[in-house]
Amino acid sequence: MTWLVTGGAGYIGSHVVRALIGAELRAVVIDDLSTGRADFIPAGVPFARGSILDIELLMRTMRSHTVTGVIHIAGYKYAGVSVSRPLHTYEQNVTATAGLLAAMQNCAVDRIVFSSSAAVYGTPDVDLVTEDTPKDPQSPYGESKLIGEWLLRDQAVAVGLRHTSLRYFNVVGSGDDGVYDVSPHNLFPLVFEALVAGRTPQINGNDYPTPDGTNVRDYLHVADLAQAHVAAALRLDAGTAIEPAYNLGSGNGVSVGEIMAAIAAVTGIGFTPQIAPRRAGDPARIVAGGELAARDLDWKMRHSIAEMVQSAWQARNAAVSD
């Protein structure tokens, strides 16, 4: 079986490629390198450089490599920025997904794992988010992911597409020293770069109704996330029953304050975070359960917070020293 990984040169996508190889599945990557890096792709993995908006490129790649399934990770992933760039976000996440599905239909590729997001839930007022929690996205990014799920659902009705969507929150850590999070918007790289530059990292609000006053979120190790994508792909390959969507959550969550303490302990750089004002619309707590994914995809939290921080810090430093 050969799986096309869109966005396979990115932080998450390249980990998925490695997990596919570890499961003795063939992988092919398509990526425009707008945020991904060619050196994140393992040696020997076929790579087509280009946009997934290019339907002809998608079809050529699928046919030339006899692709049987797609793991769709490519997209514009910055929720906050999407508010000021809605048209760009919809083009990259909705138009491109529709085109990908058209290319798959033309090439008789009938299975897809979609990298969705917990942003489809918005800011739910519940202790634990489940797959049935009402969807109320609060940004064009969250809306685009929900529309992507609808496209898969409708294509399943129309042509029998087999699919599942994986919804998740904050992805951190590294499963390979050659791959690290390069996003300018994510917590770990923001804190690491501040510390290296001698600046004090900041926390947006410490007066929330949580144990330490800071926001509580799910933090997931990227290698665990990658394994869940592969488990979903294998389930689709086997023709086994699969849910339309799964939450990949911890069930507990970790506060930003706890993350800061773990970073200080792992890096050996002591600091007291600067407290900044709350960000508008930031809920106190968003944590998802993962019971369905545990049942069907062998989902579990295999790494502690300290291990997540250590692997991310190690990969960041390895990259800088190269």
CA within 13 Å, CB half, 209: 3
Residue 221: closest CA among 311, 114, 316: 311
Compute the distance between CA of residue 152 and CA of residue 179 in angstroms, rounded to an integer.
30
Q: What is the CA angle 114-97-76, rounded to 5?
A: 80
Contacts 24+ apart (CB under 8 A), 82-85: 82/139, 82/140, 82/141, 82/144, 83/139, 83/140, 85/140
Two tokens, residue 235: 């389930």
Q: Can 141 be counted among the known catalytic residues?
A: yes
Compute the distance between CA of residue 309 and CA of residue 306 in angstroms, rounded to an integer.
5
Compute the distance between CA of residue 174 and CA of residue 179 in angstroms, rounded to an integer.
7
In the chain, DSSP assigns E strands to: 2-6, 26-31, 47-49, 69-72, 111-115, 162-168, 170-172, 202-204, 216-217, 219-221, 245-248, 254-255, 274-276, 285-286
Q: Who's near 158: CB < 8 A, 6+ residues apart? A: none
Q: Catalytic residue among 11, 76, 141, 180, which?
A: 141
Return the DSSP state at 91.
I
Compute the distance between CA of residue 241 and CA of residue 278 in angstroms, rounded to an integer.
43
Between the alpha carbon of residue 100 and those of residues 58, 116, 166, the distances in Å are 7, 15, 18
Neighbouring C-beta atoms of residue 159, cutoff 10 Å: 12
Report the catalytic residues: 141
